Chains A and B, each alone.
Chain A
Amino acid sequence: MADPILQISGLEVAVDDTPILKGVDLTVPQGEVHALMGPNGSGKSTLAYALAGHPRYEITAGSVIFDGQDIVEMEADERARLGLFLAMQYPVEVPGVSVMNFLRTSINAIRGEDISPRDFIKLFDSKSELLGFDRSFADRYLNTGFSGGEKKRHEILQMAMIEPKFAVLDETDSGLDVDALKVVSEGVNTMRGPGLGVLIITHYTRILRYIKPDVVHVMFEGRIARTGGPELADYLEEHGYVEFGAAEEAAAPAG
C-alpha cells in the first residue's frame, strides 16, 4: 500500500461551540478513492470543511496529517497550496470576478509562479472540453447565475486545472441530472492515478456507480461507524443506515 496522503486521528470538531465530530479516524493511501457515506447530519460535510480549513469549523482535538505534515494550524490557503482541494457542495458567488481571472489567480497562487497566458489558455481549453464548457464560460462571473450543474462541473474543472494531490468531493452528485453526473464522474475518472487521492462524500450510492471507490466508510453521529470495500455501498443501498441507529425515513441511501 502507498503512503497515506491523508491520515486523520481522533479528530473532534465543533461549530459555534457545538461538537459535531467526536473522534474521527480515517486514512486514505495516496492513489486510492474512498467514499464517505452517511445519513444527513452525521458530520460528513463538517469533516470536509474542517479538512479544508473553514474558520467556522473549530478543531478541538486530534490531528490531520496531510502528505506528512500536520495541517491543523494552517489557514485554508496554505492547505490548498500543499495540494488539498475541496469541491464544494455550495460553490459561492463572487460577482464581477471572471472565471478566467479567478482560475489564473488560483493556479498562480498554488503553483507559486505565474503561468504564461498561452499555457493557461491551453490548459483551460483541454480541461474545459472534458467538463463540457466552451471558451465563453471563462468570461462569466464566478458562480454568478450558474445552474446547479454548471456550478458542480466548474468545481471539477478547477480540480482538473489545479491538479491537487488530494480532493474531497462534498456531495458533488447532489442536484445533478444523470448526464451532468456522467460528465463530472468522467472528469474525475480521467484524473485518477497514483498521484491523486480522493474522498467522495455522498448521501447516495448513485455517483459510486460511475466512480468506483476502493474503500467505503460509513459515518454516523460524528464517528466512522464502519469501513469496508465497494460492496459496503451496495449493502447500504439495500439496507439503509437504520442499523446504525438512523430513523427510517432519513435512512434510504439509494435516492
Chain B
Amino acid sequence: MSSVKPPDIDLGQYKFGWHDPANYVFEPKRGLNADVVREISFLKNEPEWMLKFRLRALEIFERKPMPTWGGDMDGIDFQNIFYFIRSSEKQSTDWNDVPSDIKNTFDRLGIPEAEQKYLSGVSAQYESEVVYHSLREDLDKKGVIFCDTDTALREHEDIFREHWATIIPPGDNKLAALNSAVWSGGSFIWVPPGVQVEIPLQAYFRINAENMGQFERTLIICEPGSFVHYVEGCTAPVYTSDSLHSAVVEIIVKEGARCRYTTIQNWSTNVYNLVTKRAQAHKNATMEWVDGNLGSKLTMKYPAVWLTGPGAHGEVLSVAMASEGMHQDAGAKMVHVAPDTSSTIVSKSISRGGGRTSYRGLVQVEPGAKRSKASVVCDALLLDEDSRSDTYPYMDIREEDASIGHEATVSKVADDQIFYLMSRGLSEEEAMAMIVRGFIEPIAKELPMEYAVELNRLIELQMEGSIG
C-alpha cells in the first residue's frame, strides 16, 4: 500500500499550510476592472473573441447580485483580491526546469512521486497558471489531448471554441461570470472516439499568495465510446485573510462515453471555494462526479449532470467534512431531459468541532423524460453536540412515471459504538476514526486505492485532537 505523504511538518492540524516566498514574474495588482481583464488577456496573447468573451462576462458579473441562498459570503472583498499572478515564465515538462521553490512545494505535496507510481498524466497549477505538465507517450500517440486550458486555446482553437462555455455560459451565475472574465489555467482534455484512458490523469492546484484568487477553467470532452478518469487535488497556505477559489468545470460526454471526475479538495480554512461544475451526458453516456470536500472556509459546490440523451446515467458521490470555522454547502444536481435516464446521488457528511455541513440537491425531471429513475441518499454524521448539519433536497418532477427515491439520515456517533471498539483494544481516537472511515466507506471504495488512502488520511488529520 502506498500513499502520498508530505514530510512531517507541524503546522497545527492543517498540514499543507506553509507558503513559499513570493517571486512573481510581474508585479501583481489587487482588484478588478476592465483593464485587469484586458491585461490578463494581453499577457496570454489571446485571440480577440476571447477578450470580448471576458469583457462581456465582467459586465454580467458586475450586474448580478451576490447569491444569498447559501453560505455566508459577506467576507469576500472582490477589490482586495489578486486576479492574476504569473509565477513562472514558462511551462515545463521536466520537474527540474520548474523554479526550485515551486518544485519544492510540489515535492512536499508528493506530486512527482505519485506521477511515477500511478498516473498517466499530471498538470500542476501554481497560482494562476500551470507550471508543469506531462502526458504518457502512448496516450499522446492515441491522440489524447491533455494540456492546460491556455495552451488549448492557442493550439487547439477549433475544438476549444466549438465546446467552450456551451455547458456553463457566463450568465449562469455570478461566480461563473467572474470566472469567465478572469479565468486562467485549468485543464483541457479531449479523448478521441473509442479511446480508453485506463490510468487517471491528475491536476494539482496550489494557491500560494495571500488574497489570491484562483480561477481555473476546465473543459473535458469525451468523444463517443471513450473513457477518462480525471482527478484533482487542491491545497493552500494558512493565512489570516481570505483567498478565493472560483473554478468553472464543463464536461461533455458524448454517446456511449464515460467520464469520471474526482476531486479531493483540501483548501486551508481561509479559502472561499465557490465552484460551478456541470456535465452534459449524451445518449447512453455516463458521467460520475466523486467529490471530496475536506477543507476551505466555505464551499458552495453542486456538481450537476444534464441527462440530455436517452439512456444517459449520472452519478454524484460526495463526502464533506467540516471542522471548526468551516461550512461545507455541497450537493448535486441531476436534470433529466431525455427518456430512460437514471441518476444516483450519494452524499455523506461529517461535522465536528462546531463545523457545519449542508446537503443541497436538486433532482429535476423535465416533461418528456419518461421512465426516469433517480435515487438520492444523504447521510450526515455528527461527532459532537456543537456541530450542525442541514439538508435541502429539492425535487421537481414533471413526468408521472418517474421513479424517485430519497433517503436521509442524521446520526450521532453512539457511546456504545465507541465503547464496543475500545473494549477490543482501540483507543478512543482510533475508535472514532474507524467509525468515520466506515461511514464514508461506500464512497472510499469507489476511489482508486491511493486516493482512498489519501481521503482517509486527510480525514484522520482533521480529526486529530478531536477527542478530549
A residues with a Cβ closer than 8 A to B are 52-56, 75-77, 79-81, 85-86, 88, 91-97, 101-102, 105-107, 109-110, 141-142, 158, 162
- Is the C-beta of B338 less than 8 angstroms from some C-beta in chain A? no
Q: Is the CB of A94 within 8 A of B428?
A: no
Interface of chain B, helix or strand or loop or mixed?
helix
List 11 A–B pairs whose Cβ atoms lie within 8 Å, in order of A's numbering.
Answer: A52-B419, A53-B422, A91-B420, A92-B416, A94-B421, A95-B441, A96-B438, A97-B441, A106-B426, A109-B426, A142-B438
User: Interface code B344-377, partner A: CB below 8 Å = 1, 0 otherwise?
Assistant: 0000000000000000000000000000000000
Q: Which residues of A are found within 8 Å of B431, using beta-carbon distances?
A: 77
User: With contacts A76-B419, A92-B420, A97-B441 known, is A110 near B434, CB below 8 A?
Assistant: no
User: With contacts A97-B434, A97-B435 known, is A77 near B417, CB below 8 A?
Assistant: no
In the complex, the 10 A-B pairs of residues with the closest C-beta atoms, listed nearest first: A96-B438, A96-B441, A109-B425, A97-B438, A76-B422, A106-B424, A110-B425, A92-B420, A80-B425, A77-B422
Q: Is the CB of A96 within 8 A of B437?
A: yes
Q: Is the CB of B442 within 8 A of A96?
A: yes
Q: Which residues of B are found within 8 Å of A97, using beta-carbon distances?
A: 434-435, 437-438, 441
| Closest residue of B by beta carbon distance from A112 | B425
Q: Which residues of B are found within 8 Å of A162, using beta-carbon distances?
A: 424-425
CB distance from A242 to the nearest CB of B (A): 34
| Closest residue of A by beta carbon distance from B434 | A97
Q: Is the CB of A80 within 8 A of B417?
A: no
How far is A101 from B1 in the complex, measured between Cα atoms in Å?
15
**Partner among B415, B423, B425, B439 whose Cβ is within 8 Å of the Cβ of A96:** B439
How far is A85 from B416 in the complex, measured between Cα atoms in Å?
16
Q: Is the CB of B425 within 8 A of A94?
A: no
B residues with a Cβ closer than 8 A to A are 414-417, 419-428, 430-431, 434-435, 437-442
How far is A53 from B428 in the complex, measured between Cα atoms in Å?
12
Q: Is the CB of A80 within 8 A of B424?
A: yes
**Partner among B423, B428, B434, B442 whose Cβ is within 8 Å of the Cβ of A105:** B434
**Could you list 5 further interchain pairs (A-B, Cβ under 8 angstroms) beyond the known A91-B420, A93-B417, A105-B434?**
A75-B428, A76-B419, A77-B423, A92-B414, A97-B437
How far is A94 from B434 in the complex, measured between Cα atoms in Å?
9
Q: Is the CB of B422 within 8 A of A75?
A: yes
CB distance from B446 to the nearest CB of A (A): 13
CB distance from B264 to the nearest CB of A (A): 19
Q: Which residues of B are found within 8 Å of A88, using beta-carbon distances?
A: 420, 423
| Closest residue of A by beta carbon distance from B443 | A96
How far is A106 from B430 in the complex, measured between Cα atoms in Å?
10
Q: Which residues of A are found within 8 Å of B424, using beta-carbon distances?
A: 80, 102, 106, 109-110, 158, 162
| Closest residue of B by beta carbon distance from A79 | B423
How far is A109 from B421 in the complex, measured between Cα atoms in Å?
11
Q: Is the CB of B423 within 8 A of A94?
A: no
Q: Is the CB of B423 within 8 A of A52?
A: yes
Q: Which residues of A are found within 8 Å of B414, using beta-carbon distances?
A: 92
Q: Is the CB of A109 within 8 A of B430?
A: yes
How far is A137 from B424 in the complex, measured between Cα atoms in Å?
19
CB distance from A10 to the nearest CB of B (A): 24
User: With contacts A53-B422, A76-B423, A91-B420 known, is A105 near B435, CB below 8 A?
Assistant: no
Q: Is the CB of B420 within 8 A of A80?
A: no
How far is A101 from B435 in the complex, measured between Cα atoms in Å?
12
Q: Is the CB of B438 within 8 A of A81?
A: no
CB distance from A89 to the nearest CB of B (A): 12
Q: Is the CB of A92 within 8 A of B417?
A: yes
| Closest residue of B by beta carbon distance from A103 | B424
**Partner among B416, B417, B425, B440 whose Cβ is within 8 Å of the Cβ of A106:** B425
How far is A86 from B422 in the complex, measured between Cα atoms in Å?
11
Q: Is the CB of B426 within 8 A of A105?
A: yes
Q: Is the CB of B442 within 8 A of A77?
A: no
Q: Is the CB of B439 within 8 A of A55?
A: no
How far is A147 from B398 in the complex, measured between Cα atoms in Å?
42
CB distance from B159 to the nearest CB of A (A): 42
| Closest residue of A by beta carbon distance from B411 | A95
Q: Which residues of A are found within 8 Å of B419, using beta-carbon distances?
A: 52-55, 76, 92
User: With contacts A77-B428, A102-B434, A141-B438 known, is A94 near B417, CB below 8 A?
Assistant: yes
How far is A95 from B416 in the complex, measured between Cα atoms in Å?
14
Q: Which residues of A are found within 8 Å of B422, using beta-carbon distances?
A: 53, 75-77, 80
| Closest residue of A by beta carbon distance from B444 | A96
How far is A75 from B424 in the complex, measured between Cα atoms in Å?
12
Q: Which residues of B are found within 8 Å of A107, using beta-carbon distances?
A: 425
CB distance from A139 to the nearest CB of B (A): 11
Q: Which residues of B are found within 8 Å of A95, using beta-carbon distances?
A: 438-439, 441
Q: Which residues of A are found within 8 Å of B423, using beta-carbon distances?
A: 52-54, 76-77, 79-80, 85-86, 88
**Partner among A55, A56, A77, A101 whose Cβ is within 8 Å of the Cβ of B425:** A77
Q: Is the CB of A94 within 8 A of B415?
A: no
How far is A54 from B422 in the complex, measured between Cα atoms in Å?
9
Which of A55, A56, A76 lies at the interface centre, i.e. has the most chain B CB atoms within 10 A of its CB? A76
How far is A55 from B428 in the complex, measured between Cα atoms in Å?
12
Q: Which residues of A are found within 8 Å of B415, using beta-carbon distances?
A: 55-56
How far is A96 from B425 in the complex, measured between Cα atoms in Å?
19
Q: Which residues of B are found within 8 Å of A102, using beta-carbon distances?
A: 421, 424, 434
How far is A52 from B422 in the complex, measured between Cα atoms in Å?
9
Q: Which residues of A are found within 8 Å of B430, using beta-carbon distances?
A: 105, 109
**Partner among B426, B434, B439 whose Cβ is within 8 Å of the Cβ of A77:** B426
How far is A213 from B322 in the complex, measured between Cα atoms in Å?
52
How far is A192 from B442 in the complex, measured between Cα atoms in Å?
40
**Partner among B438, B440, B442 whose Cβ is within 8 Å of the Cβ of A94:** B438
Q: Which residues of B are found within 8 Å of A80, using beta-carbon distances?
A: 422-425
How far is A94 from B432 in the complex, measured between Cα atoms in Å?
11
How far is A79 from B425 in the complex, measured between Cα atoms in Å?
8
Which of B422, B425, B442 lies at the interface centre, i.e. has the most chain A CB atoms within 10 A of its CB? B425
